[in-house]
Structure 1
């Protein structure tokens, strides 16, 4: 990582830049309301999950100041929502003893369950085969340093939980200019080939003026005037000081290039780059 600036330092009036991340893998899990024996996942990456990924890439320890990373503006586009998977677990003591409870006695030893409990049930939820495009906007020097860190991460990167590894390079191209809205509206659709083939078949059956070269995708953006809130902004990753605050977000639909091969769909009239049509005089 460059010595100046570090991921914990940034100047608000610097030139802005945008880093684009492709978050794709067999399993993802972005816990936001996990408690006790249930580990939930929302239908899209959380800000704490994206900030944690960037912090891991930059080599920041759990006690590090993450103020600059939290200050990055986040936009998330849902390219392939995936499906929800429930992982059902039962836990027992191999020695045949009743399970202890979470509470401890005066000696610091876990108390036995009362009444005695021999089996504990847990549920963990994952998103299967989902693909998201996340964009973070902030000071250009900081974003550029993070882009380099994502390509050469200090710690292994994960899609929420450590067991959820990405299947494709996370950094999607070079650092961009503009805003997260601009970038996510211009970035081609990143869904898997099966989803693209299904969309192509739908386009072939649909009447005009359906265009197979564009697709509407749902997205959310950090927005102080947004009409919804998410409680997923981390205050610290220090296990002794963990906590989350809320952020306001705005929901939107983006008209995005599908990236489908135009040769597989009905041809459209091609216009010259300068806007001149050489066949106009012939009435074509």
Structure 2
């Protein structure tokens, strides 16, 4: 078996499990249903398509940068003749969070998923359409099992958070993964059977939580230099080669 690794990072993410119309909460880490939904979008699948192709995959995440939860609210306008013409809804998000997600399965299928994520049919999002992922999203396929990949891959946290973690003496990261058949964990209902708008269906999976020590991870500094891939989100990067100052416009 091989493992496809993804870096799930963005200014905002939202991974709901049990949300109602007027109160959309978020998990503190990515859900299997949310990541499978992103993969289905990348492959161009419709909401009515069967999701059985994803069943053999084992899923897990490592919380590299927990982020902070924030609450937003929206006003939904309904029929003005109703007793309550407006409806106040709450939305919860994770800010500045970074996760390492792994999908274990047949190498051929993982290669298809990797190609789809690099050239997605539909826009990708981290839980909600308003939360597009930051680059790099795809870290590549590792020829190891899921748990080994999550225990060995370099720390994906932002440089400022790594400095903060050092000051706060944070020495380990949490892994949340599918339990093996011989393990006993706790149940979460986030395995999608259908994304249909008519009837969404989810079933339970057993989950294990464990810790990995930071000194066991591959040096993030060395790997970053080798890959040459920036990890900081710079919204002004696209403007660096252009002179957009008022002075230049007036000349």
Shared fold, TM over 0.5: yes
In structure 1, distance between residues paired with 2:199 and 2:130: 24
Determine whether 1:70 maps to 2:79.
no
Determine whether 1:158 maps to 2:125.
yes
1:19-60 per-residue CA deviation (whole Å, 9 max, x = no partner) reads 000000000011111112111111011110011111111111
Which residue pairs with 2:154 in the alignment? 188
Determine whether 1:221 maps to 2:198.
no
In structure 1, distance between residues paired with 2:8 and 2:208: 20
Large movers: runs of 4+ above 3 Å: 200-203, 258-262
* Cα 1:202–1:36 shift into 2, 3 Å: closer
Which residue pairs with 2:203 in the alignment? 245
In structure 2, distance between residues paired with 1:247 and 1:202: 34
Determine whether 1:179 maps to 2:136.
no
Which residue pairs with 2:226 in the alignment? none
Which residue pairs with 2:8 in the alignment? 23
Q: Residues 1-284 of structure 1 correspond to what in structure 2 (within 5 A)? A: 16-92=1-77, 97-98=80-81, 112=82, 116-172=83-139, 174-202=140-168, 215-223=171-179, 224=181, 225-256=183-214, 257=217, 259=219
User: Contact 2:22/2:89 (CA < 8 Å) preserved in 1?
Assistant: yes
1:77-126 per-residue CA deviation (whole Å, 9 max, x = no partner) reads 00011001100223446x9x34xxxxxxxxxxxxx3xxx12432110100
Which blocks of at least 5 consecutive residues in structure 1 are unaligned?
1-15, 99-111, 204-211, 263-284
State which structure, 1 or 2, has the greater radius of gyration over its C-alpha atoms.
Answer: 1
| 1:226 positional shift | 3.0
Q: How many pairs were matched up?
A: 218
In structure 2, distance between residues paired with 1:63 and 1:220: 29
| 1:62 positional shift | 1.4
In structure 2, distance between residues paired with 1:90 and 1:24: 28
In structure 1, distance between residues paired with 2:154 and 2:137: 15
- TM-score normalised by the chain length of structure 2: 0.81
Which residue pairs with 2:236 in the alignment? none
- TM-score normalised by the chain length of structure 1: 0.72
| 1:258 positional shift | 6.9
User: Contact 1:218/1:251 (CA < 8 Å) preserved in 2?
Assistant: yes
| 1:139 positional shift | 1.1
* Cα 1:153–1:261 shift into 2, 3 Å: closer
User: Contact 1:70/1:234 (CA < 8 Å) preserved in 2?
Assistant: no
SS in 2 for 1:144: helix
Which residue pairs with 1:270 in the alignment? none
Q: Give the CA RMSD over aligned residues.
A: 2.0
In structure 2, distance between residues paired with 1:246 and 1:228: 10
Which residue pairs with 1:13 in the alignment? none
User: Contact 2:67/2:97 (CA < 8 Å) preserved in 1?
Assistant: yes
In structure 2, distance between residues paired with 1:178 and 1:168: 24
Of Structure 1 and Structure 2, the greater helix share is in: 2
